[in-house]
Chain A
Amino acid sequence: NAGVTQTPKFQVLKTGQSMTLQCAQDMNHNSMYWYRQDPGMGLRLIYYSASEGTTDKGEVPNGYNVSRLNKREFSLRLESAAPSQTSVYFCASSEFSPGVVYGYTFGSGTRLTVV
């Protein structure tokens, strides 16, 4: 029962480098999300995908791109990393029905440092 799997767990990047954070879920959930967690800020939504083939911006999308590769996988890409993107990144998934709110299942996070 893997749930939501994120890779890598840790990463150090130099300013300007690019990288992709991977996320996969095995619960057959329709919706997937990327959040970042910063001290004193809680979790902030970067992008989400309500269903396979769709993606939408969240609260803090600037500097990021996403790809919903298939129903299982949702990746987050930093094209040119900046120190302000130093954070812990969480991927999550949930069921989806119009007008219904489900609790999310989160991965264990990726701790990213940009120097």
Chain B
Amino acid sequence: DQQVKQNSPSLSVQEGRISILNCDYTNSMFDYFLWYKKYPAEGPTFLISISSIKDKNEDGRFTVFLNKSAKHLSLHIVPSQPGDSAVYFCAASARSNNNDMRFGAGTRLTVKP
């Protein structure tokens, strides 16, 4: 039973445009959400996170939006660059059980020059 779902296996965008990666979750206990980025033959690296007390968190070109009522979050990358091409994993955790982080299946982003 996947509690974190990324329904788009892949996304292709043009350099300079916006990339929007989506994620849905089912467990109401999740109150902290993270995005990781993964290049081939490397481990995932932490990118950005958001607490459930916020609806937006921004870090440079990366912004994460959280819609708690819809149990949905998204990662916006503006402007997209070819170096952003990677697999992006959405993850969720509950602060009451913060050693059990659940991950989505990932979305492969390709940014074309």
Interfacial residues, chain A to chain B (CB-CB below 8 A)? 4, 31, 33, 35, 40-45, 48, 50, 56, 58-59, 90, 92, 96, 98-109
Interface residues of B (CB under 8 A from A): 2, 4, 6, 9, 32, 34, 36, 41-46, 49, 89, 93, 95-96, 98-106
Taking the closest CB of chain A, its distance from the CB of B112, in whole angstroms, is 24
Query: How many A-B residue contacts, CB cutoff 8 Å?
Result: 70
B46 contacts A99, C-beta separation under 8 Å: no
The 9 closest A-B pairs by CB, nearest first: A106-B43, A103-B46, A101-B32, A43-B103, A42-B103, A42-B105, A101-B93, A99-B95, A101-B98
* Complex CA–CA separation, A48 to B101 (angstroms): 10
Q: Are B101 and A104 in contact (CB under 8 A)?
A: yes
Partner of B45, one of A44, A100, A106: A106
Interface pairs (24), CB distance under 8 Å: A4-B43, A40-B105, A42-B6, A42-B105, A42-B106, A45-B102, A48-B99, A48-B100, A50-B99, A58-B100, A90-B43, A90-B44, A98-B98, A100-B95, A101-B95, A102-B98, A103-B34, A103-B49, A104-B44, A104-B101, A106-B36, A106-B45, A108-B41, A109-B43
Complex: chain A residue closest to B31, CB-CB: A101
Query: Chain A contacts of B95 at CB under 8 A?
Result: 99-101
CB-CB < 8 A to A96: which residues of B?
98-99
Q: How far is the CA of A26 from the CA of B6 in the complex (A)?
A: 32
Interchain CB contact (< 8 A) of A56 among B96, B99, B106: B99
Given contacts A42-B2, A103-B34, contact A31 B99 (CB under 8 A): yes
**A residues near B93, Cβ cutoff 8 Å:** 101
B89-A99 in contact (CB<8A): no
Contacts of A56 in B (CB 8 A): 99
